[in-house]
Chain A
Amino acid sequence: MSSVKPEPQTTPTRAASPEARGAEEMPAAIGNGRKMNEAQGRTNQMGRSARLYYQYRRFRKELAILGAVIGPGIIVMVADNDAGGITTYMVTGAEYKFSFVWIAILLWPVAYICQEMTVRLGVITKRGHAEAIFEAFGPAWGWFSLLDLTLTDLLTIVTEFIGMTVAMSIFGIPPLITVVLVITFIMVILLNGRYWTWEKIVLVLCAANMIYVPLALVVHPDLGQLWRTGVIPGFPYGLGSPVLFLIMANIGTTIAPWMIFFQQSSVVDKGLKERHIPYERMDTAIGAVFTVVVAVVLIVFAAVFFSATDPSLPDAGAAARLLLSSHPYLGAILAIGLFDAGLLGAIAVSLASSWAVGEVFGWSHSLNDRIGQARWFNVFRLMVMGVAGAIVLIPRAPLGEITLFVQVIAVTLLPAALVFLIVLLNQKELMGKYSNTRFQNVSAAIIVGVILTLSTLYALGIVFPNLFGG
């Protein structure tokens, strides 16, 4: 287990009290008003400069600590814009134009509130989420959570492989080769046996996820219309089952059970301490901004490009193929981004369940362990990815539908994970001053309530198809 790089000393030494140092020059000017004023001016100036210098030094040190801590939050949030996420945003934009942009924006605080709780829990308990649940609630609830997580993770990894194989098939690479290469890459980046190396590689993949951002500039959306129909909340298409389904898929692609498990284990494996909590919060907030930016960009892009011509876009791969014929560069960007998103998702989601299972079974499960040392942890991870890859290779599987449904299943199961998280964060004896505030509890409860309501409405729509007029 590694620890965070030594924290630079933030206590100022020489520049501790610039006014006091300036004041030492004062006696020479006593008794002479003009000189005194000059000295006073000089003192003030020196004081100001010293203060500025001190603030600059302090800012640099804060940045250095942030640079060392940053990672788990950005990775979990950007990996959240996985292959399933990209498909969800594209389908949403193509079908409902700008109408869901406000939902994507609203998901920033939602994602932050949920993930910030895992940061505090991980840092204070020094336990991954699975282990924390087993310890706090006993084995029965623990197994339930672990089973939920493993199943939803497996399904999510299937969607990652769907995205990657579809993206690579655009460049003529067969799915089998893609699956084998991806699994090999994911295992090879662990060979070094250092959390830091792994994190840096994954952060580069996160940066590549921003490849989508220029797309919004290329399509020149009508900003007035975007504001009126996208940013101002409303339901111009009603609240029928298809709309509810896509709202849930959008929520499901932004917050999912694997994220809770991933970030908590990641924070523990990285060795973050109590003093790093503010920085890790910032890391999470920055990551959430990236998530929302990519979501909005893709919804806007699909709305401008496909809503008029291909509103029933099945998935992001189909969008890339359509674009390749008319705009080859845009098609290629979309395909590369889709592959990157799938790869990031596969890395993060497979780790979330492997960490969880490793914690519970007491296997060596740190990224700082060499592959052979953490044998069962890696075997489990390989197995999960192998099964997911094999499912994707089944011919004629309805990949687009599976992708969207997995997002909805993930969000449907989320309240169970969130409830445990909230209960744990309210244990004063466990969390001390880091227990949830009333505001955090109310916010989290609202999130659980909204998800439960949406799931129920959607379920009612399945059972009674004409209930919402659709």
Chain B
Amino acid sequence: MGYLSSAVAKVREVNHRYAEPKIQLKKGTKVVLMVLRVYLLALVGLLLFALVSHVR
């Protein structure tokens, strides 16, 4: 429990340290980047599905 709370505190500290990004992305760019990331994760999910099917 103590370890978990210190880990959470560390993550908060990191979030606080980098709270002010140096590069301000436009909203459109943020959306495109997010869509790209979600798309890539979906592709990875599909790959894992293919691996499991292949192994079975």
Contact = CB atoms under 8 A, between A and B. Distances in A.
Interface of A: 134-139, 141-142, 144, 360-362, 398, 401-402, 405, 408-409, 412-413, 415-416, 419, 423-424, 427, 430, 455-456, 459, 462-463
Q: B interface, how many residues as a size bin?
A: 20 to 34
B43 A412 contact: yes
A419 B35 CA distance: 13
Nearest to B21: A138
Given A398-B55, A401-B54, A419-B33, A412 B47 contact: yes
B21 A415 contact: no
B11 to A, nearest CB: 8
A409 B50 CA distance: 11
Scoring B14, B18, B19 by chain A CB atoms within 10 A of each residue's CB, the highest score goes to: B18
Contacts of B19: 138-139
A423 B36 CA distance: 14
Contacts of A409: 44, 47-48
A409 B48 CA distance: 9
Nearest to A429: B22
A137 B25 contact: yes
B46 A134 contact: no
B36 A135 contact: no
Interface in B32-56: 33, 36-37, 40, 43-44, 46-51, 54-55
Query: Chain A at the B interface: mostly helix, strand, loop or mixed?
Result: helix
B15 interface: yes
26 contacts: A134-B17, A134-B18, A135-B18, A135-B21, A135-B22, A136-B21, A138-B19, A138-B21, A139-B15, A139-B19, A361-B10, A398-B55, A401-B51, A401-B55, A409-B47, A409-B48, A412-B44, A415-B40, A416-B40, A423-B23, A430-B22, A455-B40, A455-B43, A459-B43, A459-B47, A463-B46
Contact of A402 (B17, B20, B51): B51
A308 to B, nearest CB: 25
A360 B14 CA distance: 7
A416 B43 contact: no
A427 B23 contact: yes
Given A405-B47, A455-B43, A136 B14 contact: no
Given A412-B43, A427-B23, A459-B43, A419 B36 contact: yes
A462 B14 contact: no
Contacts of A136: 21-23
A144 B37 CA distance: 9
A361 B33 contact: no
A413 B18 contact: no
Contacts of A360: 14
A404 B21 CA distance: 37
Contacts of B55: 398, 401
Contact of B44 (A144, A402, A413, A463): A413
Contacts of B21: 135-138
Contacts of B13: 362
Contacts of A398: 55
A424 B21 CA distance: 12
Nearest to B29: A423
Given A409-B44, A455-B43, 7 more contacts: A136-B22, A138-B19, A139-B15, A360-B14, A405-B50, A409-B48, A416-B37
B53 to A, nearest CB: 9
B33 A415 contact: no
A295 to B, nearest CB: 22
Contact of B33 (A141, A402, A462): A141
B23 A134 contact: no
A360 B7 CA distance: 13
Given A136-B22, A360-B14, A462 B49 contact: yes
A74 B48 CA distance: 32
Contacts of B17: 134, 362
B21 to A, nearest CB: 4
A456 B18 contact: no
